[in-house]
Amino acid sequence: MELTYSSIIQNKHIVEDIYEMHLEFENKEINPGQFFMVKSLEGSYLLPRPISVYDYDGKILKLLYKVVGKGTKIFSKLKTEEKVQILGPLGNGFPLQDIKGKVALIGGGIGIAPLNYLVKNLKAFEIDSYLGFRDKIYSLDKFEEFSQKLVIATETGNYGKKGFVTDFVNWEDYDTLITCGPEVMMNKIIKIGKDKSIKTYASLEKRMACGIGACLGCSVKTTSGIKRACKEGPVFSGEELVVEEQPW
């Protein structure tokens, strides 16, 4: 973990309110599923925002983010060579050594970000990717390159299959499920994994203030008590997560 000021190489608009920021960040080891706390120098009174690692090649750190409030709106206006404050890499990522068999990656919306960095690190596995969006699709290149099968679903039917992406997964085909996205989607996948005895991992998206476990603002209910998404997570096994019953 390191607190540093990193120069922006590129900060481009992808589609609608989705942006991709490239930062200088050399020679660090980053595990898929880890994240950074990012803070702009403008509006310094605002708390940093947690953003998952979208991609990393040893020199350039790529972050995919969605504009949802004042802080991320400021991010979207930043230009090349401006600097941001970053703290990381933080958290526990996906346990690559424990992943086995045929894998389904299931992402929803901006939740595809950590799965993008993961998919290229699972080259030794047979991977099918299922990605769901509301209307516009984006950032499919790595999934197209490294997946045996790629299924796209949009709620509007504007692209791919119409409906929720979880409607199109053949659950019995997989030994491992890995997911990140809206909470209701992940809760459904976790429950299916438990019911069908499929090993499941979920990267939780939680509001965070500090990113280092001090503020307890990202508490997660587990079978062994309350844990912190920023410290013990953001990746948890489905077996340990306590999921409230939902009227699917």
pLDDT band at 45 (very low <50, low <70, confident <90, very high): low
pLDDT at residue 230, as a whole number: 85
Mean pLDDT, the chain, as a whole number? 92
Evaluate if residue 32 carries a pLDDT over 50.
yes
pLDDT at 84: 96
Taking residues 44-72, report their average pLDDT: 92
CATH annotation of 96-240: 3.40.50.80
Beta-carbon contacts of residue 8 (< 8 Å; ≥ 6 apart): 21, 22, 23, 78, 79, 80, 81, 82, 83, 84
Higher pLDDT residue, 139 or 27?
A: 139
What is the reported pLDDT for 184?
A: 95
DSSP code at position 212:
S
Q: Grade residue 30 by pLDDT with cuts at 50, 70 and 90.
A: very high
pLDDT at 248: 44
Buried b (16+ CB within 10 A) or exposed e, 51-72: bbbbbbeeeebbbbbbbeeebb
Span 217-243, pLDDT tens digits: 788 899 989 998 888 989 999 999 998
Give the CATH number of domain 2-90: 2.40.30.10
DSSP 140-176: -HHHHHH-SEEEEEESSSSSSEES-GGGG--GGG-SE
What is the per-residue pLDDT for 7?
97
Q: In the chain, where are the structural domains located?
A: 2-90, 96-240
Average pLDDT estimate for 171-189? 96
Quote the CA–CA distance of 99 and 119 in Å, as a whole number: 12
Average pLDDT over residues 79-92: 96
Distance from C-alpha of 131 to C-alpha of 181, rounded to nearest angstrom: 10
**Can you name the residues that pair with 63 across neighbouring β-strands?**
21, 53
Mean pLDDT computed over 4-30: 95
0.85 exceeded by pTM: yes
